[in-house]
Amino acid sequence: MDNNFITHSSIENVCIGDTFDLPLGTDASVKVEYKPVKKMVDKQGFISKVHHETIRHETHIVNTKATETTVFVYEQIPLSSDEKIKVKLITPDIRQKELARNCTVTMNDKNNLEWKCVLQSHGEYRFPLEYLMEWPVEKRVEFKEE
């Protein structure tokens, strides 16, 4: 609050040059709205039927502060362990590193989309996400978090 943060916490030992995460809690002046997920399911193919599922949703962030703020948004993208199950990221296009002024997106080593945005005072940004999953109809798909 007012560029001051007071707390008491402990962290594990960190070597020089290592990185660590230290959550500082929520900032009430940054509003986050996570829109409901929209799914579209379809089956295609004449001989070998394929199940298609398109997942689409959006995160909307508004900075109500009088100063700019940097926000990071992480979205987990499914990762297939079977070559017959395909996951294709549609939006955002990560080949285009900078999506908008002061906003970049990359895929990190944990298969998470990582957006970094500098939101201007009273600025806002919408983080769209859309991906397609497809697999043979006869195959059973199970989602696991690891």
Select the more confidently predicted residue: 26 or 34: 34
Of the chain, the percentage scoring pLDDT greater than 70 comes to 91
- Whole-structure pTM value: 0.75
Domain contains 111: yes
CB 114 within 8 A of CB 72: yes
Domain contains 37: yes
Domain that holds residue 49: 30-136
Task: Determine the pLDDT at residue 134.
Answer: 93
Domain contains 145: no
Task: Determine the pLDDT at residue 2.
Answer: 63
The number of distinct structural domains making up the chain is 1
Task: Determine the pLDDT at residue 16.
Answer: 92
> Is residue 47 scored above 80 in pLDDT?
no
